[in-house]
Amino acid sequence: MLVTTKLAHGIPLLVRTALGTNFQGLGFSVEYRKFDQGVWFPVSYGTEFRFHVLFFYSRQIAVSMANSDFRRADVKSSVEFETPQ
């Protein structure tokens, strides 16, 4: 399953023109995969966007992460209480 998002509303025109600030392509993507016993787990995450701040500072940022080498853990635990005195 792939979940993708994006910025719902752009930066207002007044902010873009008066402050010279804008974000383009802001959003992310997460891919989930189904593992044993119906458990969904994120296997990859990625985003790429560009921003301009105060007319002169501009950067493009890209992030890509992957989860791998999954192992199933078997955990057994118990909780015991003493009677209050």
**pLDDT digit string, tens, across residues 12-64:** 888 778 888 887 878 889 998 887 777 888 889 998 888 888 888 888 989 89
Q: Determine, yes or no, domain membership for 39.
A: yes
What is the number of structural domains in the chain?
A: 1
Write out the residue range of the structural domain in which residue 20 sits: 2-66
Q: Determine, yes or no, domain membership for 55.
A: yes
Give the per-residue pLDDT at 22: 81
Q: Determine, yes or no, domain membership for 19.
A: yes
Q: SS3 letters for the chain?
A: CEEECCCCCCCCHHHHHHCCCEEECCCCEEEEEEEHHHEEEEEEEEEEEEEEECCCEEEEEEEEEECCCCCCCCCCCCCCCCCCC
Q: Determine, yes or no, domain membership for 34.
A: yes
Mean pLDDT of 3-11: 78
Q: Determine, yes or no, domain membership for 75.
A: no
pTM of the model: 0.61
Give the per-residue pLDDT at 17: 82
Q: Determine, yes or no, domain membership for 9.
A: yes
Q: Determine, yes or no, domain membership for 80.
A: no
